[in-house]
Amino acid sequence: MTTVIMRTTARAVVPIILVVAISLFFEGHNLPGGGFIGGVLTVTAFAIIYMAFGLDFLERGVLGRDVDPGKEHSRDRVVVAYRRLFAYGFAIAVASGLGPLLFGEPFLAQSFVMLEGVPIYDHLEVASALAFDFGVYCVVVGGLLTILSVVGAE
Amino acid sequence: MTAPPVGTESQLVIAPMLVVLIAAVGSLLLGHRPRARAAVSLAGGAAYAVAVAAIDWYVVLAPDAPGIATYQVGDWAAPFGITLVADGLSAFMLTMVAILGVCSLVFSTRHLPGGEGRSYYFPLFHFLALGVTGAFLTGDLFNLFVWFEVMLMASYVFVAYSGGPQHTRAAFWYVALNLLASAVFLLGVGGIYATTGTLNMADLAQRLADPAAYGLEPVPVVGLLGLLLSVFAIKAGLVPFQFWIPTAYRAAPPQITALLAGATKKVGIYAIIRLSFTVFAGAEVAVDLPLPVIDAAIAGDSPLPFVGAALFVMGTASILLGGIGAVGRDSMEGVFAYSSIGQVGFIAIPVAIAATTASPELRRFAIIAALVFALNHTLAKGLLFLAVGTVRAATGTSRLNDLGGLASRSPPLAIAVFIASLALVGIPPLSGFFGKFLVFDAAARAGNGPAIVLLLAGSLLTIAYATRLWNRSFWGARTPAVEAATVDPVQVAVLVVLATAIVGVGVGFEPVYEFAQTAAEAALDSEGYVDAVDPQAADDLLGSSGGEH
């Protein structure tokens, strides 16, 4: 798979996918999109990197770490990081649900603030649902990347 | 939109779920520190028990308790938002699960099977408990589907947990079957939404009771209820949907099998009772079955006789197949797995009686019988599966051929298993006696001769397999495996606690009966359920502009 065409395409496509994923994530609370879809799309970007450059590329090429070739891939530090992302994302989602209880509102209740006169955007909506969505995003990215990298190595 | 006043009772409804969620997050974040992980899990289990006890007291049992409390998640009013409802029936079921869940959790801290997956054991345990809790508390049909999935996701992993070829094989069939069941569930839910325009259970009950006012044609609901019943029967393990049970129960770690038999099976039973009696009982649908399965009372103006006939057939087959199957098994968990199939039959028969009878008095009594029997099954079968775990941890085997003389090796273990076996058989003064007595009484009051004969046959089979298991593994000469065994004291202590609970429920049966009675009344009180959820409030909100809301 690692032809020149594949690698060149990956370089062009991956940034576009990531930008679309992030925009989907940000508009999820009142338009089609959200943490789940944004997360899945982000994972496809990682999948393309894995396919084009190999499983060790993130560890060696991006993060500049040495990879012990004899070691099981599921013990890699990047995979440990994926798992941690999963756990933290889950914690953020639960915490965002518990937050409203502090204000005497029911579990998972949401609110939003409209900011007017913001530069470039003019008016910007800040929604508390974004915190929950962010948690979901982390769970999806962490969980799917763990599966992808562990199963991909076997 | 103003929320209804969020009182203490209302807050309590969601408390068990939040506690389990927090415990799951905590044990997940502490994945790399085994001691802290176990400590957080135990604290979560204790908090869960406290939360359930608080629901029991403040919502259901206290003299000035409201009897039912609701919670609107995310401040979205019913019927659009997700409603959580805690009433007598939910509280009774939650209590059973809390007792067994805490025992299984303590047990798990002593003996964790598996290698690399070990750090995910406790989070998954909490997710399993979360799914069960959510299913008992939700007042929304689609949300029930979601909680079923949460429960299943965790149990998939547990069935495959040990990682051997036979575990993977069992997990594959388990996943395949349950995916099919989920698809059928979704089909039924979709059909009900298409037919009635709502999935909120209270709203559903209200619309079905008066279809003309909402312009509904409720006839398809009977068939859709049949679809849902088949899904719940798979969860409960009723024949002909029992085939996954023996392999899945053997593959999962024993302390999880205790929960699968004691808790997730009861979710199936609970869903059958809740949907049939609280939601669909009021539906005005003429049912006229040509089969004279039970007696002439099969025709009626609600879907209940249909439910009753189906449950009667499935319960009969379960009692016979479970009992006969259990007699011939060659391992402890095999005997108990088949025994579970038979025991669920014993729960299905009184539910069937309740569904077919025309007398409200008998209907209430039969549901009490089913609930008390379910409680006994949870305690006794939970204890027995935990005992399988103890024996397996001590001797390395649970095959009857390799066991013998366990009674002299560990008398407390033997006494606990003996008490649980007697409870299965139904000897006074244990909880099992009252369970079985009430079921027989319900059948006798219904004047249902075939049912009594069937229950007698099932009881004889229970005596046969319980005796056989006892003789083969606890009496006789010690085998080499038993001779070399060291029994874990904490695990045995958990078994003794459960055995004490079995005796305690039997000796102090009066309050348990009253609790079950409250639960049965809650299950039958469709109007009270609708009033508490009040799905009309949101309709008013939409209909009237500038109303008081």
* Predicted confidence (pLDDT) per residue in B291-335, tens digit: 554 444 455 677 888 888 899 999 999 999 999 999 989 999 999
Q: Which domain holds residue B395?
A: 8-531
pLDDT at B366 > cutoff 70? yes
Q: Look at residue B535 in the predicted model and tell me its pLDDT.
A: 80
Q: Look at residue B298 in the predicted model and tell me its pLDDT.
A: 52
Q: What is the 3-state secondary structure (H, E, C) of B167-184?
A: HHHHHHHHHHHHHHHHHH
Mean pLDDT for the stretch of residues B515-538: 89
Spatial separation of the C-alpha atoms in residues A48 and B72, rounded to whole Å? 42
Residue B401 resides in a domain: yes
Q: Look at residue B300 in the predicted model and tell me its pLDDT.
A: 62
Chain B CB contacts of A136 below 8 Å: none
What residue has token string 């079985």? B436
Angle at the Cα of B34 (from B28 to B38), degrees rounded to 5?
Answer: 75
Return residues 19-58 of B near A (CB < 8 Å).
21-22, 24-25, 28-29, 31
Mean pLDDT for the stretch of residues B15-44: 91
Which residues have a Cβ under 8 Å from the Cβ of B21 and sit 6 or more positions away?
A: A94, A97, B126, B130
Chain B CB contacts of A88 below 8 Å: 29
Residue B212 resides in a domain: yes
pLDDT at B1 > cutoff 60? no
- Total domains, chain A: 1
Confidence of residue B182 (pLDDT cuts 50, 70, 90): very high
Q: What is the 3-state secondary structure (H, E, C) of B304-323?
A: HHHHHHHHHHHHHHHHHHHH
Give Cα B7 to chain centroid, integer Å. Answer: 29
Which range has highest mean pLDDT (A101-115, B445-459, B472-486)?
Answer: B445-459
Comparing CB atoms, the residue among A91, A98, A109 nearest residue B74 is A109
Pairwise CB contact (< 8 Å): B29 & A108: no
Residue B2 resides in a domain: no
Return residues 90-129 of B near A (CB < 8 Å).
116
Residue B546 resides in a domain: no
Residue B54 resides in a domain: yes
* Predicted confidence (pLDDT) per residue in B56-71, tens digit: 999 998 888 889 999 9
pLDDT at B25 > cutoff 60? yes
Residue B291 resides in a domain: yes
Q: Which of A78-82, B192-196, B541-545 has the lowest mean pLDDT?
A: B541-545
Give Cα B337 to chain centroid, integer Å. Answer: 15
* Predicted confidence (pLDDT) per residue in B35-51, tens digit: 888 899 999 999 999 99
Both structure tokens of A42: 């982000």
Confidence of residue B481 (pLDDT cuts 50, 70, 90): confident
Q: Which domain holds residue A63?
A: 4-153
Residue B521 resides in a domain: yes
| ipTM of the complex in this document | 0.88
Mean pLDDT for the stretch of residues B398-416: 90
Residue B170 resides in a domain: yes
pLDDT at B144 > cutoff 50? yes
The residue length of chain B stands at 549
Q: Look at residue A17 in the predicted model and tell me its pLDDT.
A: 96
Confidence of residue B78 (pLDDT cuts 50, 70, 90): confident
Confidence of residue B162 (pLDDT cuts 50, 70, 90): confident
Q: Look at residue B2 in the predicted model and tell me its pLDDT.
A: 39
Comparing CB atoms, the residue among B21, B28, B74 nearest residue A110 is B74
